[in-house]
Chain A
Amino acid sequence: MLEDIVDVQGLSRTFGASKALSDVTLQLKPGLVYGLVGSNGAGKSTLIRHLLGLMTPQQGTVRVLGLDPVKSPVEVLAQIGFLSEERDLPEWMRVDELLSYTSAFYPGWDFEYAKDLLRTFDLDPTKKVKHLSKGIRAQAGLIVAVAHRPRLLLLDEPSTGLDAVIRKDILNAIIRTVADDGRTALFSSHLLDEVEQMSDELFMVDHGRIVLRGSVDSVKRRHVVAHLESCSPTDEAPEFSGLISAERIGQQWRVVCELTSDDSGDLPQSLAERGISVASVRAASLQEIFVARAGRERRQKLEVVR
């Protein structure tokens, strides 16, 4: 058995009255790409900041490469590559200065790789960071994040606000990290199509809780969108096990549900036994699953408040 790259157990964190993370447990295995999805404020960045050792767990434990990132920041950070939406780089440095400055922190810095990426991105090394556009800044940040060939690459909303070409550069860096070196990457994103194509496993976070996890294929296989015939315009939303969300569309109910068996063909039959007739069933997209899940959490919260 290969050792887990990341092991988080029962991690909770509150900011004042709000729960940023609530009993989060997860493991990351070597050689896989993990997608972290959730709305703004769901807790994605807070989780990543714990992995970087920037926050001390209030409850639970965090281990990265077997170490506590708060107690052993030097050893842990030497093995992590990090790129965030903010891409906070020293403004006054030139790109080449930034790279040689960063390389000094990492014994494993790969000068050839850094040069190769500079060429690929067609970056001018003499330019000052403060004069770089948002996209170019992201490319510079990306070189800084990967040139020491980290065992764990953490990307917090790396694509936000970037055009398709630079997003592709970032995704290629993930592909390269995983394909060539068998390393691990975790990236958070609200672009669900991107996550669907680019991750092996995903975690869906909502209100600080992991509401869904598993391989992208298994998550998609487990969820369907169905249209149910409704008898009268006043009838109540259907209730059955596995139902995540229901929305009235004309004379039908559009429902997103999690299958209790592996076969979506069983759904119409099991609903027919309860007097509900199914007009259509199809596979749900990640986007639909996410909207349905996040909506349900919100409704449950409202009910508690009431």
Chain B
Amino acid sequence: MHIEIQPQDGLPIYRQISNQIKYLIASGQLKTGQELPGVRTLAEQLTVTPNTIVKAYDELEAEGLLEKRRGSGTYVTDTNSPLTRKEQRRILAQRIDAVLTEASQLNFTLGEVLVLLHDRHAALTRTLAKFESKGD
């Protein structure tokens, strides 16, 4: 599990960790039912006090993204929960912002971007359909 801490970031370290785990879950890099590293393992990996990991896991558990199983570890809960959906929407919004920024720098209007978006969607659908028919 790849997590990076930015010491200069204004966010508390436990929040940096919980945000990145949310991202890993939302982007599918951590899957439903997958076990997370133990507190000590992750604390050693990131060189942070173990209580920081406990705090991050507790927060994600309270939000329903992780679950602790008695006598064993911490696992990712069902990824179709509304909260994950919200996080997925946030990630997508970031990508869209990046596209819009670039579009504006290249002097595209919103109308032109929307037309292009439709075109690309159509092209992608055709490509996927071709692959599916080949697979039969």
Contacts and interface: CB of A to CB of B under 8 A. Distances in A.
Given A179-B40, A217-B12, A32 B7 contact: no
Looking at A168, A179, A196, the one whose CB has the most chain B CB atoms below 10 A away is: A179
A197 B7 contact: yes
B51 to A, nearest CB: 5
Interface string B1-36: 000010110101110000000000000000000000
Contact of A220 (B5, B12, B52): B12
Interface string A64-89: 00000000000000000000000000
Given A197-B5, A217-B12, A220-B12, A179 B50 contact: yes
B51 A176 contact: no
B7 A196 contact: yes
A25 interface: no
B132 interface: no
A62 to B, nearest CB: 25
B44 interface: yes
A146 interface: no
A180 B39 CA distance: 9
Interface in A93-149: none
Interface string A216-243: 1100110000000000000000000000
Contacts of B46: 197
A198 B49 CA distance: 5
A79 B65 CA distance: 39
Identify whether the interface residues of A are mostly helix, strand, loop, or mixed.
Answer: helix
B10 A175 contact: no
B48 interface: yes
A168 B47 contact: yes
| B: interface residue count bin | 10 to 19
A155 to B, nearest CB: 13
B60 interface: no
B43 interface: yes
B10 A197 contact: no
Contacts of A285: 7-8
A197 B48 CA distance: 5
A172 B44 contact: yes
A175 B12 contact: no
B7 A198 contact: no
Contacts of B10: 220, 282-283
Contacts of B44: 172, 175-176
Interface of A: 31-33, 168, 171-172, 174-176, 178-180, 193, 196-200, 216-217, 220-221, 282-283, 285
Given A168-B47, A176-B40, 4 more contacts: A171-B47, A175-B50, A197-B49, A200-B52
The 5 A-B pairs at the shortest CB distance, nearest first, are namely A283-B10, A179-B40, A179-B50, A217-B12, A33-B49
24 contacts: A33-B50, A33-B51, A171-B47, A172-B44, A175-B47, A176-B44, A178-B50, A179-B39, A179-B50, A180-B40, A196-B7, A197-B7, A197-B13, A197-B47, A197-B49, A198-B49, A216-B12, A217-B13, A220-B12, A221-B12, A282-B10, A283-B10, A285-B7, A285-B8
Interface of B: 5, 7-8, 10, 12-14, 39-40, 43-44, 46-52
